[in-house]
Amino acid sequence: MRIGISAIEYYLPEKIIDNDFFEHAKNEFLEQKVGIKERHVAAENEYTSDLAAKAINNLLTKHNIDRNEIEFLVLCTLTPDYILPQTSAQVQTMCELPNSLYSLDIRMGCTGFVHAISIAQSLIAGMGFKKGLVVTADKFSIFLSYKDYNVDTLFSDAGAAVLVERDPKLFEIMDHDFGTDGKGAEHIIIPAGGSRLRISEETSKFEYIKPGVERSKNYLYMNGRQVMKFANATVPVSAGKVMKKTGITMDDIDWVVMHQANKLMLEEIGDRCGIPKEKNYINLWNKGNSISSSIPIAMHELLEKHERCNHGRYWMITGFGFGFTWGATTLKYVGK
């Protein structure tokens, strides 16, 4: 039984912030090294469930999919509307999906899409489902200190929706490689808000770290150098493992779509993996880092361009980030 991806759509909020917004930013560095000119920010009254629902409705409408045939929903988000209930339950109602729906949230970041499609594949293979949705959505702007140049210029709010089913129309899901190293947790973290450190007046106080860096414990902290070091060490190994499982080499691959972290990082990882530059797709310029949505958004762009979409050839997707976690998946293009 072949299981894979039949359709991809996404949603980006209307509000766009370009580099001129950031007084402390060096536009030349952002554009040439980081590779970002613009990022999208959700409206005040636009929530993670809205981003997810709009992506799903785009998918169902554009591809003429009967919502009553959707049997499961795997929603990947780091920014749920509430601690409880789960956001996937809200999205089920918002999108008028069947009450018989199997739904779950997974709390993952930049590796989330790769993990989520493996879960969807397992649900079809192990539970007899025929088709379902993998949805990624984050309103990550609410966790960014706009006084911290390490993070405030990087991220975009976004949602993406992918149809996973038997006898797929675009990609057959082939093999996976995953990894986790919790020792890296301190390098990408929002300290307050969980059971270990609840949000309080104390955690909300902004602390001056150095010029251009002020934040409270309620906002994201990221050690960019350690993240770069981690990604360079794990992604090439993981990519090699998953290609070996599939029995292919880089010559058999048309596109490599990595999590869109930043241009410099993707180019360095690409060099370490032996990925030809023309196969290493980067679309940060007007999207920014959209967390778990970055891979499906990039895949959608490539499919729309229809550049190097050759039947029977392979794509590889790789995610890496918070946790630390990483993952790589090979996909066989079965479209026409």
The 3-state secondary structure of 162-213, one letter per residue: EEEEECCCCEEEEEEEEEECHHHHHHEECCCCCCCCCCCCCCCCCEEEECCE
Q: Classify residue 18: in a domain, yes or no.
A: yes
**77-100 residue pLDDT tens:** 999 999 999 999 999 999 999 999
Regarding whether 154 and 25 lie in a shared domain, the answer is yes
| pLDDT on residue 306 | 86
| pLDDT on residue 28 | 80
Regarding whether 156 and 251 lie in a shared domain, the answer is no
* CA geometry: angle 175, 305, 282, nearest 5 deg: 65
Q: What is the C-alpha to C-alpha distance for residues 109 and 19, in angstroms, rounded to an integer?
A: 24
Q: What are phi and psi of 60, to 5 degrees?
A: -65, -40
Q: Classify residue 55: in a domain, yes or no.
A: yes
Domain end residue (candidates: 170, 204, 237): 170
Domain end residue (candidates: 136, 170, 204): 170
CB 214 within 8 A of CB 228: no
Helix crossing, 87-94 with 48-62: angle to 10°? 40
Q: Classify residue 196: in a domain, yes or no.
A: no
Q: What is the C-alpha to C-alpha distance for residues 247 and 240, in angstroms, rounded to an integer?
A: 10
Tokens describing residue 325? 């976690």
Regarding whether 133 and 267 lie in a shared domain, the answer is no
Question: Which residues does residue 198 pair with via DSSP β-bridges, in sequence order?
Answer: none
Quickly count: other Cβ atoms within 10 Å of residue 240's Cβ.
16
Count the domains in the chain: 2
User: Domain residues for 113?
Assistant: 3-170
Regarding whether 9 and 114 lie in a shared domain, the answer is yes
Regarding whether 101 and 29 lie in a shared domain, the answer is yes
Regarding whether 164 and 31 lie in a shared domain, the answer is yes
> Quick check: pTM over 0.85?
yes
Regarding whether 236 and 142 lie in a shared domain, the answer is no
Which residues, 6 or more positions from 29, have their beta carbon under 8 angstroms from its beta carbon? Answer: none
| pLDDT on residue 336 | 80
Regarding whether 258 and 120 lie in a shared domain, the answer is no
Active-site amino acid positions: 110, 259, 289
Could you tell me the CATH number of the domain that includes residue 318? 3.40.47.10
| pLDDT on residue 307 | 85
Q: Classify residue 209: in a domain, yes or no.
A: no
Q: Classify residue 316: in a domain, yes or no.
A: yes
Regarding whether 138 and 72 lie in a shared domain, the answer is yes
Regarding whether 227 and 90 lie in a shared domain, the answer is no
Regarding whether 271 and 312 lie in a shared domain, the answer is yes
Locate tokens 């729906």: which residue?
101
pLDDT beneath 70: ranges in the chain: 25-27
Domain end residue (candidates: 170, 198, 229): 170
